[in-house]
C-alpha cells in the first residue's frame, strides 16, 4: 500500500512540476501589441504639412476633373459634335427609346412590342425568325413577345403553305386597333425627331441611315 501511494504521489508531483502553457488568446494579444508598437501607423503627409494640404486643395480647384466632376450632358464635349459617330448614334437611340417607353407606358406596350406590331403591319405573314431580323431583336425575345401578343388577341398564326412547321404571323383587328393607338402616341416623338429639319434634309438623313445599315451589314 505504501508503494502504491508513493507511486501515485510521485505522478502527481510530476504533473505539478510541468510548467503551464500560456493561453493562445493572451499570447496573440501580446504579439499584436508588440507589432503595433514596432510598426506604428503612418500618418498622412498632408496632416503633418498644412502647406501641402493647401496645395492639394488648390490643385483640385484649378482642375475640377480631379475632384470627381460629373461628365457633361448630351450635346457637350465628346457627347456633342466632337464625339464619335458610333457613340452619338447609340446616344440618340437610347434617348429615343426612353422617350418611346414613356409615350407607350399609358397603353401598356413596350417599344419591342410596338416594333413587332409595326413590322407585321408592313410585312404580314412573317415567321418568328424573320421578325427577329427586321425588329432587331433576339429570337428568344421575339418568342416571348409573340406569346404575349397572341394571348392578348393582337396577332394570329397560320401554318406556312409549303413548310407546315413554320408559323406565319399577322395582325388581328385588335392588333390593328392597338397599333393605331400606339402610333398616335409615338407621332409626337416623330415630330420631335424631325424638328428643325426640312423635308429634303429628312430625306437625306433617312438615306444616310439606311445606307449606313446596308454597308455595315454587308461589310
Q: pLDDT digit string (tens) for 67-115?
A: 567 888 888 888 999 999 999 999 999 999 999 999 999 999 999 999 9
Check residue 1 and give its pLDDT. Answer: 46
Region 109-136: what's the mean pLDDT? Answer: 96
HSE-up of residue 127 (Cα within 13 Å, Cβ side): 10
8-24 pLDDT, tens digit each: 555 555 555 555 555 55
- pLDDT for 28 beyond 80: no
pLDDT, residue 51, reads: 72
pTM over 0.75, yes/no: no
3-state secondary structure the chain: CHHHHHHHHHHHHHHHHCCCCCCHHHHHHHHHHHHHHHCCCCCCHHHHCHHHHHHHHHHHHHCHHHHCCCCCCCCCHHHCCCCCHHHHHHHHHHHHHHHHHHHHHHHCCCHHHHHHHHHHHHCCCECHHHHHHHCCCCHHHHHHHHHHHHHCCCEEEEECCCCCCCEEEEECHHHHHHHHHHHHHHHHHHHHHCCCCCHHHHHHHHHHHHHHHHHHHHC
Say how far apart CA 81 and CA 155 lie, in whole Å: 43
Phi, psi of 174 (to 5 degrees): -65, -40
Amino acid at each position: 500500500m505504501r508503494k502504491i501511494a508513493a507511486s501515485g504521489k510521485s505522478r502527481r508531483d510530476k504533473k505539478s512540476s510541468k510548467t503551464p502553457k500560456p493561453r493562445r488568446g493572451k499570447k496573440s494579444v501580446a504579439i499584436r501589441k508588440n507589432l503595433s508598437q514596432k510598426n506604428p501607423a503612418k500618418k498622412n503627409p498632408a496632416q503633418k504639412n498644412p502647406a501641402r494640404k493647401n496645395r492639394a486643395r488648390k490643385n483640385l480647384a484649378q482642375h475640377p476633373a480631379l475632384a470627381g466632376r460629373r461628365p457633361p450632358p448630351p450635346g457637350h464635349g465628346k457627347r456633342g459634335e466632337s464625339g464619335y459617330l458610333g457613340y452619338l448614334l447609340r446616344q440618340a437611340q437610347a434617348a429615343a427609346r426612353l422617350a418611346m417607353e414613356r409615350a407607350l407606358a399609358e397603353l401598356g406596350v413596350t417599344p419591342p412590342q410596338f416594333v413587332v406590331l409595326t413590322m407585321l403591319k408592313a410585312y404580314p405573314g412573317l415567321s418568328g425568325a424573320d421578325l427577329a431580323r427586321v425588329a432587331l431583336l433576339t429570337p428568344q425575345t421575339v418568342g416571348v413577345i409573340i406569346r404575349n401578343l397572341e394571348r392578348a388577341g393582337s396577332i394570329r398564326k397560320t401554318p406556312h403553305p409549303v413548310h407546315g412547321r413554320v408559323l406565319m404571323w399577322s395582325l388581328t383587328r385588335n392588333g390593328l386597333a392597338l397599333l393605331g393607338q400606339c402610333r398616335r402616341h409615338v407621332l409626337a416623338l416623330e415630330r420631335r425627331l424631325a424638328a428643325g429639319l426640312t423635308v429634303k434634309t429628312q430625306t437625306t438623313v433617312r438615306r444616310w441611315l439606311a445606307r449606313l445599315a446596308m454597308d455595315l451589314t454587308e461589310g
